[in-house]
Structure 1
C-alpha cells in the first residue's frame, strides 16, 4: 500500500478525486492544501454530472436499478470531498477556508438544482414512481423510491421554467447567507476576551478554571487570567464567579453575539434567510417554510408542533415559575439580590443545588477524567452491542488533538472508523456535534463501513490536571456518542438512507437515550473513578446525581420550549412583515421568559441551529425525541439497563435501520407500542410516578 505522504503536489488533486489510497480509505488530511479544494470540487461536480447524464441518456426503459439506485450512488466522490471540506469548516477553519466555502457553496447549490430541476431525470424517476405498486420492492426500496421522487417534487421539478430559475437564485443566495451567518458567530466568539489582572476578581472560581485561564493568557502572551466565550471558559465563570459585574459583562457578550450593528451583525442575515425560505416554500406550493419542512417529519404539520409545545408548556410553566420564585427568594436571602438577572441564574442555581443536594460539579469532576469517560462509553457500548474500540495511530487526522479508533464487532470485523475531537480552539465553532466522513452502504455485495466523528468543546488539560469533565460535559459526550453509534451501526443498502439519514425529529433518539446511562449506578461504576486515587465514585454521590437530575427541570423544559417557539415564530408564518429582529424575538418569548429583558442581547442573531444548521422548523425535535427516549429507557429499566435482548432489539430496529422505514414503524417494532409522554413527565418530575 502506498504511503500518501509521498504524493507530489500535482497528484494531491487526483488523490482527492479518486478513492483514497489509504488505510480504511480514510481522508489524507495532511496532504490536502487549501488551494486543492476549488479545482477538485469543480472536477468532482463535472464527474457527477457525467454520471447523471449516463442515467438520463440510457436508452433502456427506466427501472429501479438503472435510475433510482444509480442516482443514489452517483456523486460519491463529490459527497466525500464535501464532507471533508465542510466538516473542517466547522472544526478547523480559517479565513481562507471560509472564503473558499463562499465560492464552493453556490456551485454545489447550482449542481443540486441542476439535478432536482432536470426534466429528463425526473421523467425517469416519475415513470418508476407511477408504477410502484406493481413493483416487487422491499420496504427499504419503497422508502428510497419515495424519497427520490419527493427530492424532485419538493424541490421544484413540477415548476414552470421561470419559477425554476427563481428557485435556483434563492438556493444560491441561501447557501451563502447561512455560511456568512456562521462565520459572523464564530468571529464574534473568537473576538471577545476578558482579561482579569486582579486576583480578587477570581473569587469563587475553582482552581482548575483559574489555572486554565492563566494558561490561556500565557498562550496569548498576556499577564493575568483570560476568559473567552468558549464554553469551558464561559460556563464555569458564570456558574462560580462571585463578581456580579464581571458575570454581567461576559453574559451580555455571549448574548449579544452578532447583534452590535457592526460588520459581524446578523440581523439582516436573519431577515433575509427567513424571507427567502418563505418565498421558496411559496414557490413550491406551501404556505410556510415550516409546512414544507414538517411534511417530512414525524410531527407532520406546524399545528401538531404547536400543540406538542403547548401541551408541554402547560405542564412545565407552573413548575418553572415556582422554581424561579424559589431561586429569587434564595438569592434575596443569600445576597440581598432584589431582581434576579440572566447573569445570576447559573450562579445562584449552582449554590442552591449545593445547598439542597450537597453536590456541585467541583465535587464530581475528579471522578470524570475525560479518558475514563471515553472508556466508559466504550465499555457500555461493548456490553450492549458487542463493539470493541481500539485506538489507532496509523491513519491521518486533521489536528493533533483528534483521537482515532478502529471499531470492530465480536468477530473482529471492521464496524467503523471513529474520530473524536474534544477541545476548543480558534478554528472550531462552539458546541458539540456528530458528523460523518463516509456513509455506510452495500454495493457489489460489499458492506462498505462508515467513518464517523464527534466534535466537542471540553475543558482542556492544564499543567497540573488532566481534562476533568463537568457532569453536563459527561452527558454531552454520551449524547454525541449516541449519535455516533447511529452512524457506526448502520446496516442499510443505500447511502441516502444510512445512519442518521432519518426524520429530523427521530434523529435525537439514539443520542438522548444514551445519556440515561450516566445516571445509573451500574454504568457509573464502570468508569467514574477518582483520577488520583482510582476510587470508584461513592454511592452517596450517585444518589445525589440521581436526586438532582430533576433540579430546575421545569425551568430547563421551559427554556427548550422557548427555543422551539422562537424557531416556529420565524418559520411558521410570513416573515415579510417582521422588520425588527429583537422586537420579534421579544414577542415570541413573551409568555415563556422568566428573567428581565436585556436590550443588549438577542438570541436569533447567533441561533446557529436554525439559521446555519439543519434545525429550522425542527428545534422542537429535542423535546419530541425526549418523549421517545424516556419511553424507550423505561423499557430497558423494566428488565435491567444492560439487558442484551432489549439492546439487540434497539440495535436491530433503530440503530442499524437508518431511514429505511417510517420511524414510528421502527419504534413500535422495538417497543411494541407507540411512545407515551408520561414517561418523560415522570422522569422530569412534572407528574407523580
Structure 2
C-alpha cells in the first residue's frame, strides 16, 4: 500500500452508534419523509413535474440512506446486544413505514400526473425515464389501482411478512448452538482445526460457525461424528420452521390479491427470467443434463466409501448419506488428484491472500486502495477492531484520478456476527442536485479462519474463491456511477446480480494468479506447479453433485412458491434433496430449511438466479477475458459496460454492449459438462 494517504472529498461513515440514536435516526427520517410527501401531495394537479415529484423523492431517500443504513447494518456485526436489538427493531419499523408510504394513493396519483407532464415535455433522459417507470411500477405491484379494502389487506399482510423475515434472519445471525466431541470422535480432523476448538471438560466444543463445523463435515473419519454434526447443523435454527411456514402462506395471499398465479410469478415479473415456467424449464433441463454426471460421481464415492469402511473397520453402508458428501468429495479429490486441501491451505495465509486479491483487482480494474488511518481526523475507526476501512480511487496512467468510495472488510468470525460471506452496498452513490457526487460505501463481511497458537490464519482454496467472488460485489458498488441511487451498483435484476462476481471467480483457477496469491506460511514459497495443476483440474471435478445440490435449493424454493397446496416443508426439504442431490438422511426428517436464510433475505423465488446467472458469467469470461485475463483494457470495458451502469439500463443491453451480441449458454455448458466429463474420462 502507498505510504501517503490522499484525503478523500468526503469523510467515511461515523460508527459510534447507541440504541437511542439508531431509533432517533429512523424517527427523524419518518417525520421528514411524511412532511415531504404531504408537500408533494398538496401540489396542484397541473403543477406536478418530474423535478418536483420524482427527482425530489429520489434525492430525499438517497440522502437519508447515509444516516440510516449504517445503523441498520449493525444488527449483523455489532458486539453490543442493545445495538443489535435496536438495529433489528429500527429495520422492522422502517420496512413497515416503507409499505405504508408506497401504498399512499395521493403519491401514486402525483407520480401519474408527473408522468403525463414528462410525456408532454419529452425532456427526460433514459435513466430519468427508467426511474419514473420503476417508481410507478413499484406502487402497482403493491396494490395501487386496486380497491381500498384490497390495498389495506395487502398492506397488513406485507407488514406481517417483513416482521417475520427479520425474526427469521435474526435467529440465523444469533444462533449459538454447538456440539461436544471427544478426541477419539474427531479422528481425521486436522490438528490445526482441533487447536481452534475450546475444551469443555475432556471434550471439544464445536460451534455451527463455518470455520468450526466444516472441518468436521470434510475430515471426521467416524461416520457417526459426521452424522451428528450434519444433522445438528440442519436443525441449528429449527425454531424457524413455523416462521417460514407462515411466510410462505402469507406470500400466497399477496400473489392472489395482486392477480398472479403464484408468488413466484409475482417476483419473476420484474426479473430477466420473467415467469416461473421459464425458471422451472431451466432448472429441469439442467437437472436432466447433470443427473447422469452426478450418478457417475456418486458411484465413484460409494466405491471409495466401501474401501474406506473396510480399511477403518466400519460396518458396510451402500448409501451416500448427507454426511458423506463433503467427506468423500474431499477424499476422492485428494486421492485422484493428489490434492490435499489442508496442504494447499498452508500456502494461503490470510495476510498474503487478502492484499494479493486486492492487488489483482487493482490491476484489472485500474483502481487504488489506501487503508484509512484509525484516528479522529481521517475517521478510520470501525464497529470492531477486526474491521478495516479502505479509501478506493480510480487510478489511470499512474495517477489517482477520482475518488470512488469507501470499502470495509470484516473478515473473521465472532459471536453474534453474520455467519457467512456477503457484501452490503451500504450507501449507494448518486449525482447530487449541484452536479457533484455522493460517494458509495460497501462492506464485506466474511468468516475466515482465525489464527491458532501454532499457525497464522489460513484459507482453503474454496475460501479464496469465495473472497474473490464477494470482492466482485464490492467493486460493483465502488465502480458504479449512476445518476440515481436506485440503480447504483448491485441494484440490478436479482437473476443477474451474481453474474459479475461469478465471472470473477475464474481468476482463482488461473495458474499465474494462484502463484501470485500463495506463500507458504513457514517457507514463503509459492504454490508448486504440480499443486497448481491439481487445483486447476479440480475445478470441474465432482461438479455434477455440486450443481445438483444447487439445483435442489433452487427447486425447493420454486416448489414452495408455485404450489397451491399446503406443503409439509420439512418432508419436501428431505425428499427433494434425496431425489435431486442424490444423498439421503436414512429417513431422518430435520427441517434444514429453517436455516435457508436466502429464502427470506431477498432470494425468495429467486435462488435459481445463482445458476441462471452462471450462463452470463461463463459467456463474459470466455468472450472478453479468457485470452488476456489481466488486460486493463478489457477490465475497463467490463467496468464501463457492466459495473458503471449498474441497473440504469436493462441487463440484457449491458451484456450485449460487453459481448457484442446476445449471450448464449454455450460457454456455460462447455465448462460445466464438457470440462467435467472430460476430466472424469482422463481420471
Report the TM-score, using the length of structure 1 for normalisation: 0.90
Answering whether residue 351 of structure 2 is matched by residue 363 of structure 1, we say no
CA RMSD of aligned residues (A): 2.1
1:107 maps to 93
Deviation at 1:201, TM superposition (A): 3.1
Aligned to 1:51: 36
Displacement of 1:96: 3.4
> What is the number of residues matched between the two proteins?
651
Select which of 317, 332, 342 maps to 1:352.
332
* Residues 1:479 and 2:458 aligned together: no
2-structure distance, mates of 1:106, 1:366: 44
The gaps in structure 2 that reach 5 residues or longer are: 1-7, 311-315, 375-379, 679-683
Cα displacement (A) at 1:185: 2.9
Q: CA 1:587/1:132 → structure 2, altered by over 3 Å: closer, same or farther?
A: farther
- Tell me the equivalent position of 2:681: none
Q: Does 1:402 align with 2:387?
A: yes
Match of 1:35 in 2: 20
Q: Which sits farther off after the overlay, 109-118 or 490-499?
A: 109-118
Aligned counterpart, 1:163: 150
8 Å contact 1:506–1:621 — kept in the other structure? yes
Match of 2:579 in 1: 591
- The within-5 A match list for 1:523-538 is 523-538=513-528
Which of these residues, 224, 230, 233, is aligned with residue 254 of structure 1?
233
Q: Which residue of 1 aligns with 2:263?
A: 289
The equivalent of 2:210 in structure 1 is 231
Give, in angstroms, the shift of residue 131 of structure 1: 5.9
CA deviation after TM superposition for structure 1 residue 684, in Å: 1.9
Bigger mean CA deviation after superposition, 540-549 or 130-139: 130-139
Q: Does 1:206 align with 2:190?
A: yes
Partners in 2 of 1:102 and 1:479 — Cα distance? 27
Deviation at 1:586, TM superposition (A): 4.1
1:128 CA displacement: 3.2
Partner secondary structure for residue 437 of structure 1 = strand
Mapped pair 1:570 → 2:560: yes
Match of 1:617 in 2: 605
Do 1:319 and 1:686's aligned partners in 2 also have CA atoms closer than 8 Å?
no
Query: Displacement of 1:253 after TM fit?
Result: 0.4
Task: Give 3-state SS (helix, strand or coil) of 2:579's partner.
Answer: coil
Between the aligned partners of 1:560 and 1:686, the Cα distance in structure 2 is: 19
CA displacement at 1:95 relative to structure 2: 4.8
Q: Could you say what secondary structure the match of 1:397 adopts?
A: coil
Q: Is the contact made by 2:241 and 2:591 (CA closer than 8 Å) also made in structure 1?
A: no
Picking from 355, 369, 377, the partner of 1:389 is: 369
CA distance in 1, matches of 2:59, 2:564: 37
Matches within 5 A, 1:74-473: 74-76=60-62, 78-92=64-78, 95-97=81-83, 99-101=85-87, 103-130=89-116, 134=120, 135-187=122-174, 189-192=175-178, 194-196=179-181, 198-213=182-197, 216-217=198-199, 224-259=203-238, 265-336=239-310, 337-338=316-317, 339-394=319-374, 395-410=380-395, 411-412=399-400, 413-443=402-432, 444-473=434-463
Q: Displacement, 1:114?
A: 2.8
Structure 1 residues 232 and 287: alpha-carbon distance in aligned structure 2, compared to 1, 3 A threshold: same
Q: Which residue of 2 aligns with 1:650?
A: 638
- State the distance in 2 between where 1:308 and 1:566 align: 14
The answer to whether residue 635 in structure 2 is matched with residue 629 in structure 1 is no
1:665-680 alignment, distance < 5 Å: 665-680=653-668
Deviations 1:69-90 (A, max 9, x none): 1111223454334422332112
Does the CA-based 8 Å contact 2:255-2:261 persist in structure 1?
A: yes
Deviation of 1:27 after TM superposition, in Å, equals 2.7
2: CA distance, partners of 1:86 / 1:500? 18
| TM-score (normalised: structure 2) | 0.91
Partner in structure 2 of residue 15 of structure 1:
none
Residue by residue over 1:643-683, the C-alpha shift from the partner in whole angstroms, topping out at 9 and shown as x without a partner, is 22221111101011110000001011001122221211221
The alignment partner of 1:275 has SS state of helix
Say whether 1:607 aligns with 2:607. no
Measure the CA separation in 2 of the matches of 1:478 and 1:222: 39
For residue 12 of structure 2, the aligned residue among 8, 14, 26 is 26
State the secondary structure of the residue aligned to 1:642: coil
Per-residue deviation, 1:38: 2.0
Deviation at 1:147, TM superposition (A): 1.0
Any idea what SS the aligned residue of 1:595 has?
Answer: coil
In the TM superposition, what whole-angstrom CA distance separates every residue of 1:565-587 from its partner, at most 9, and x where no partner exists? Answer: 00001112335x23x32223345
Cα distance in 2, alignment partners of residues 85 and 573 from structure 1: 38
How far did residue 433 of structure 1 move? Answer: 0.5
* Contact 1:453/1:484 (<8 A) preserved: yes
Residue 399 of structure 1: how far off its partner (Å):
0.8
Q: Distance in 2 between matches of 1:146 and 1:464?
A: 59
Q: 1:73 aligns with which of 31, 56, 59?
A: 59
CA contact (8 A) 1:41 1:78 kept: no
**Is 1:485–1:510's contact at 8 Å kept on the other side of the alignment?**
no
